[in-house]
Amino acid sequence: MKRAMCEHLSRELRNLERRVRVPIELSLDDERYLDRACPNPECGAAFKVLFDDWRDKVPDNRAYCPICGFMAQASEWNTPEQQEQIKNAALRYLHNRLDEALTRGARAFNRSQPRGGLIRMSLSYRPGRLPLVVTAEASEVMTQRSTCEACGSQYSSIGAAFFCPACGHNSAASAFHANVETVCKTLTAIPEIRRAVTEKLGKDGAEDSVRQICENCLVKLVSAFQHFAEALYEALPSQAKPKARRNVFQNLSESSELWRCAIGHGYDDMLSASELSALERFFQQRHLLVHNDGIVDQLYLDRSGNLSYSAGQRLVIRGDRVEVLADLVTRLATQLRRYTPQP
């Protein structure tokens, strides 16, 4: 009897050494969207894709991040929660298989978990940060829904999205105004968000959420403009323009010169000197938020000329300032469109 059991067990173990497929049910939201997370360590964006599109339109060997355009195998896009879910399911599977081998019995498990009144969501530009807590209505306002012009896949994200997760199509040029609009709607909803979250979490929790939302709006606007400029530039006839290095549109003065060579106009023809330096400051702030957790460093002070801070302080991003940024990038984008053929 003992010997038979051992044989059964070792057969199970041999089976497990081969690749096994463990059926796992990942949860979808009410509209059947699947949570995804960008595996690019620089990005980590959270977004959602209509589950049917993810299953049918995303090939196994590649999927794209709608925010940074990073490409990776379709299996690489699980959120930390899903990774945990998958690990647990795999362990459970392993456990059950061995358990069966020993006792020929199966064990049931619990996997549902109750949900609270507030929604936790991940903001998409700083991986590993605490999730933002807002109400369901607020998360609806902050969500940008997109349908790919090229392949019809449906996806959504908090704030701006630029690339189709299924085919990689860059929609930054056509989606720019929708992106800015989502950010502006979010800013308008801040008093309401503050009120609702204060009720549930108290004043500190609410201020925390509002701060994260304002920072996220700033980052989204700057990247929406960068990707817009990139897409517009890409669409220019190639004989008419110098080659653009990667991420050149993160640098205002360098990209302004690029436009001047290509279309005869730089940013200083489109905005006043004081508007341009305000924009430069916003670009530097985005850099700090994304790469330095918002902590002011000497480089920021040198580049932005922002003397109201000293090194080591944390940036304070106010909603009304972000509205100024929305206005600046919208005007710059409108001007750029005037000088370029429509992509």
Which residues make up the interface to Zn ion (CB under 5 A)? 38, 40, 43, 45, 65, 67-68, 70, 148, 150-151, 153, 164, 166-167, 169
DSSP 85-104: HHHHHHHHHHHHHHHHHHHS
Nearer of residues 9 and 72 to Zn ion, judged by Cβ: 72
Query: What's the rounded Cα separation, in Å, for the pair 193 and 190?
Result: 5
Nearer of residues 69 and 266 to Zn ion, judged by Cβ: 69
CB of 49 to Zn ion, least distance (A): 10
Count Cβ atoms within 10 A of the Cβ of residue 196 and give its class: 0-12 exposed, 13-18 middle, 19 or more buried. buried
Nearer of residues 97 and 287 to Zn ion, judged by Cβ: 287
CB of 37 to Zn ion, least distance (A): 9
Nearer of residues 58 and 183 to Zn ion, judged by Cβ: 58
CB of 225 to Zn ion, least distance (A): 17
Nearer of residues 45 and 213 to Zn ion, judged by Cβ: 45
CB of 122 to Zn ion, least distance (A): 12
Tokens found for residue 62: 């590649």
The torsion of the CA quartet 224, 316, 124, 50, rounded to 10 degrees, works out to: -70
- The set of residues, in sequence order, having a beta carbon less than 8 Å from that of 313 and lying 6+ positions away, is 295, 296
CB of 123 to Zn ion, least distance (A): 13
Q: Write the DSSP symbol of residue 134.
A: E
CB of 147 to Zn ion, least distance (A): 9
Nearer of residues 58 and 252 to Zn ion, judged by Cβ: 58
